[in-house]
């Protein structure tokens, strides 16, 4: 699916940015790079910034006009760092990503078009695009580095693509402690903990059973807000047990190394 979304760089002056764009694309699973009349390509500077995305540079298609770069595309999205004179349908990067995926799901091909470092895309080039995409940067300093702009758009494409697959967007930890750490504590475990806590607070003289002053209710409210896991409960119980030993003058360990 993602190979049907191409990145088109128009008239790039710094070959380093071509390499940076290739790296950004490969990180996000895109592979098709089209260069319209680049000033310097191939170039060792592009290879250096690609840091491993060499295959994208080797397979990059070099053409002399935007028209050639867009052959076969059914949706063309042009990026722009600033407002242009003629109002045009405008998307943010997230909307651009969902539109792009909708289009490839229909069997179409999509082009994300990026402009020159110094002057962006010309009005004529922008008018070849059905939609304009603006990254909502600080208007006081709105223009991103070319490769950084490619990164933002391709990241949104990847997020939308992962969501469409129902694939996780977070790395899943599967170690036993991680499972224990995320399993929530049960109400009865929490009740036993409150008993233990109250007993300890009495033993260390913090809670006066004659004058409890809503202390336990307030502590219950605090713990109720925190979504404690089983592992965290074990730690808290360990702390109480050691506190009681100190209060009773019993031998105790200095470091809790069994949690
Ligand atoms: N001085 C130029 C800046 C071009 S930056 C101008 O004002 O147009 C080079 C390219 O990076 C732009 O053509 C565009 O493709 C992309 N880019 C930079 N900042 C962007 C932004 N905020 N939103 C969308 N694209 C951006």
Q: Which amino acid residue places its CA nearest to atom 21 of ligand 1? A: 81
Question: 151 CB less than 6 Å from ligand 1?
Answer: no
> Quick one: which of 97, 100, 118, 117 has its CA closest to 109?
100
Q: What is the pLDDT of residue 23?
A: 98
Q: Which amino acid residue places its CA nearest to atom 5 of ligand 1? A: 117
Residue pLDDT, tens place only, 50-106: 999 999 999 999 999 999 999 999 999 999 998 767 789 999 999 999 999 999 999
For a mutational test of ligand 1's pocket, the pick from 120, 122, 133, 134, i.e. the residue with the most ligand atoms closer than 8 A to its C-beta, is 120
| Complete domains list, the chain, with CATH | 2-167 (3.40.1280.10), 177-248 (1.10.8.590)
Low-confidence spans in the chain with pLDDT less than 70? 84, 172-180, 254-259
Q: What is the pLDDT of residue 75?
A: 97
- CA terminus-to-terminus distance, the chain: 46
Cα 152 to ligand 1 centroid, rounded to whole Å: 12
Q: What is the pLDDT of residue 82?
A: 82
Question: 79 CB less than 6 Å from ligand 1?
Answer: yes
Q: What is the pLDDT of residue 172?
A: 65
Count the alpha carbons within 13 Å of 159 in the hemisphere toward its beta carbon: 13
């Amino acid at each position: 699916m993602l190979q049907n979304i191409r990145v088109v760089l128009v008239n790039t002056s710094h070959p380093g940015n071509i390499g940076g764009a290739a790296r950004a694309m490969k990180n996000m699973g895109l592979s098709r790079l089209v260069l319209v009349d680049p000033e310097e390509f191939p170039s060792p500077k592009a290879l250096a910034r690609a840091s491993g995305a060499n295959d994208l540079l080797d397979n990059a298609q070099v053409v002399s006009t935007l028209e050639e770069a867009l052959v076969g595309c059914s949706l063309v999205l042009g990026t722009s760092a600033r407002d242009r004179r003629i109002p045009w349908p405008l998307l943010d990067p997230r909307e651009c990503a969902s539109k792009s995926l909708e289009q490839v799901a229909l069997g179409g091909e999509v082009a994300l078009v990026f402009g020159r470092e110094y002057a962006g895309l010309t009005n004529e080039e922008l008018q070849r695009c059905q939609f304009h995409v603006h990254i909502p940067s600080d208007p006081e300093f709105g223009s991103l580095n070319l490769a950084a702009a490619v990164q933002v758009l391709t990241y949104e494409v990847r997020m939308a693509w992962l969501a469409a697959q129902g694939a996780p967007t977070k790395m899943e930890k599967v170690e036993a402690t991680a499972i224990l750490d995320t399993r929530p504590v049960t109400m009865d475990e929490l009740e036993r903990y409150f008993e233990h806590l109250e007993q300890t607070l009495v033993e260390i003289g913090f809670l006066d059973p004659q004058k409890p002053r809503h202390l336990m209710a307030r502590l219950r409210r605090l713990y109720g807000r925190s979504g404690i896991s089983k592992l965290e409960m074990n730690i808290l119980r360990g702390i109480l047990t050691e506190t009681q030993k100190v209060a009773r003058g019993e031998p105790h360990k200095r470091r809790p190394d069994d949690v």
